[in-house]
Amino acid sequence: MKKIISPSILSADFGHLQSVCEMINRSEAEWIHIDVMDGLFVPNISFAFPVMKAIRAHCTKMMDVHLMIEHPENYITRFKEAGAGNITFHFETVGNPFAVIEQIKKEGITAGITVNPDVPVEVLEPFIKEVDMVLLMTVFAGYGGQQYIEESDERIRKVRAMIQKHHPSCLLEVDGGIHLQNVAKVYQCGANVIVAGSSIFNAADQIGAIHDLLFAH
């Protein structure tokens, strides 16, 4: 199974965004993970369009945008214009997920759907045929640097089984508390796209940390 690392810049040094982008360009990370928070769906507020445009100007990797905002359907075109190559929204934030998936695909980019750890993964099953990726949160959305929720192992296995049944080429991304000590287990459970913030940006050798996460077994 193909593996992808998506470094979450939420934990990066925002005073040096250009060199953060250049590090990611030189690394084996295929994507860059962009966490957008609105202070409503999640308590925290992060950043959005102007910062994304600055990243787009320096980063050659695919922008993997994770929207933790209410009414994501109102902003899809603007996120695309700011450089998104993939947009993932939370099931909890929309009335009609099918319509939002369609809206994202109409922009010519890929669509992902996600849920927080307290939502049964079964709610995702009807959408798996339509999306390019399922993102399974392994912490509650809102902050970097949290601890991986152990019950996530079983949830990853369940989503992997649903993907194999309905849409085997759909990607399965995990986000939250992933580091070198648990990434191999997460791959074994069935994930193939790894978001990692603190375990990359707190490392002395960030390019090495990305390499180690990619090849851990």
- Give the CB-nearest residue to Zn ion: 66
> Catalytic: 175?
yes
Task: Give yes or no for residue 173 binding Zn ion (CB under 5 A).
Answer: no
- Residue 146 near which of ligand DX5, Zn ion, none (CB within 5-8 Å, type-dependent): ligand DX5
Task: Give yes or no for residue 64 binding ligand DX5 (CB under 6 A).
Answer: no
Task: Give yes or no for residue 38 binding Zn ion (CB under 5 A).
Answer: no
- Give the CB-nearest residue to ligand DX5: 197
Task: Give yes or no for residue 144 binding ligand DX5 (CB under 6 A).
Answer: yes
> Closer CB to Zn ion, residue 13 or residue 129?
13
> Closer CB to Zn ion, residue 66 or residue 160?
66
CA distances from 172 to 168, 177, 205 (A): 10, 16, 27
- Residue 142 near which of Zn ion, ligand DX5, none (CB within 5-8 Å, type-dependent): ligand DX5
CB-based burial label for 178 (10 Å; 0-12, 13-18, 19+): buried
Task: Give yes or no for residue 66 binding Zn ion (CB under 5 A).
Answer: yes
Q: Which of 132, 175, 205, 212 is catalytic?
A: 175
Site pattern 103..142 for ligand DX5 (x: CB under 6 A): ------------------------------------x-xx
Beta strand spans in 8-165 (E):
31-37, 62-68, 84-90, 110-115, 133-137
Task: Give yes or no for residue 64 binding Zn ion (CB under 5 A).
Answer: no
- Residue 176 near which of Zn ion, ligand DX5, none (CB within 5-8 Å, type-dependent): ligand DX5
Task: Give yes or no for residue 174 binding ligand DX5 (CB under 6 A).
Answer: no
Residues that bind ligand DX5 (CB under 6 A): 8, 10-11, 33, 35, 66, 139, 141-146, 175-178, 195-199
Q: Which residues are catalytic?
A: 35, 175
